[in-house]
Amino acid sequence: MKFYQEVVGLTISRRLAAGPGMDIVFLGEGETKIELIFDAKHLETNEPGGIFLGFEVDSVDEKIKFLKEKGLEISGPYQPQPYIKFFYVKDPNGVNIQFVENI
């Protein structure tokens, strides 16, 4: 949850106690939200392979600077065409997070 709040910039929109040792948190505003489920019985993370989440940013360069200051490993930036620039980081569970700037 800290990653999605501090790194991605999402706010908690709803939080539920889902039973003993289990919490559900929804982050984001508007129509689309990220749902994170914490279950104390399942503390190990799994490498989620082909999952990617993308977030638009005003400046890829500024976001890279911010994330490097937090000690995160950056993959990129990439600019496959003049109108788009992006890079990747991994969240604490290994999910690929893409930050993209539409130029």
pLDDT tens-digit profile of 8-24?
899 999 898 878 888 88
d(Cα 78, Cα 25) in Å, to the nearest integer? 32
What is the pLDDT at residue 75? Answer: 95
Once rounded to an integer, what is the mean pLDDT over residues 4-8? 90
- Indicate if 58 and 101 belong to the same structural domain: yes
What is the pLDDT at residue 41? Answer: 77
Q: Is residue 12 part of a domain?
A: yes
- Indicate if 99 and 59 belong to the same structural domain: yes
pTM above 0.75, yes or no: no
Q: Is residue 46 part of a domain?
A: no
- pLDDT-based confidence at 80, cuts 50/70/90? confident
- Indicate if 64 and 33 belong to the same structural domain: no
Q: What residues make up the domain containing 9?
A: 1-40
